[in-house]
Amino acid sequence: MAKRLTEKQKGEMTQGFKDGKTIEVLSAEFNCTRTTTIRNLKINLGEASYEELKKSNKKLIKKNILEDSEKKKEVNSLKNEEGYKEGDVQEHKKSFQIANEKDFYPDSSFLEITPLNFEIDNAPRKEFSSVPISDIDFPQIVYMIVDKKIELEVKLLKDFPEWDFLPTDDLNRKSIEIYFDLKVAKRFCNKEQKVLKVPNSNVFKIAAPFLISKGITRIVSSGSLIAL
């Protein structure tokens, strides 16, 4: 099962990518697959920004590799200089290694946890899967997919493969989906539908009682499940 990241973790992951961390480092840091890391970065940054930062990070890594090579040459040359002690060379190497590791790898520690020997009731999972709408800070502008009559596309949660681990009662909940990125919304829009721009995302908090009266109790967005 894919690891579910919190909104805070997604933000930290995005910032780490902006700071030059690689996909592999971020995947290890947040204990998730490479595919999950890329998907969340594309959602948070947008396709264009993701590709631009990816190229920029590759250039940074290449630059650091070249600097690494130059510093190694510098260490080797120091060994040949008269009056320079072996201890000084080792100290120089140690300083460089510490600086280099901070550039590429996050601080981490490993703690082994003894496996539990009893079964866990999974019924309360829904309480941890959904986030109250009052705790969500939507972007100013969001997008929805509607049919030609401007009617909302209502789905059951079981129609979303990424949420198939939820209890059966939750899977039968009615939901609507919103998108933070126009390009992503268009990608999921078919010929019988169109993308609707919502210029003020606060409308969902205002309209929550109305949506609930229609049986709609969840909003799906950017890998998050929002409870009305």
Beta-carbon contacts of 190 under 8 Å, excluding residues fewer than 6 positions away, are none
Contact present, 174 and 152 (Cβ < 8 Å)? no
The pair of structure tokens assigned to 67 is: 């600097």
Distance CA 38, CA 43 (A): 9
Q: Where are the beta strands (DSSP E) in the chain?
A: 130-132, 142-147, 155-156, 174-179, 193-198, 216-221, 224-227
**Average pLDDT estimate for 70-95:** 57
Q: What is the mean pLDDT of residues 49-77?
A: 73
Beta strands 155-156 and 216-221: pairing type?
A: unpaired
Least confident of 35-44, 105-114, 154-163, 203-212: 105-114
Q: At residue 72, does pLDDT exceed 70?
A: no
Q: What is the CATH number of domain 125-227?
A: 3.40.1350
pLDDT digits (tens, 9 = 90+) for 94-149: 555 555 544 544 555 556 565 555 454 444 444 456 788 888 888 889 999 888 77
Tokens 């594309």, residue located: 42
Q: Which residue has the higher pLDDT, 42 or 108?
A: 42
Is 0.75 surpassed by the pTM of this model? Answer: no
For residue 126, what are the contacts with CB-CB under 8 A and spacing of at least 6?
166, 167, 169, 170
Sequence ranges of the domains in the chain: 7-104, 125-227
Provide mean pLDDT across the span 14-41. 89
Comparison of pLDDT for 165 and 81, the residue scoring more: 165
What percent of the chain shows pLDDT beyond 70?
69
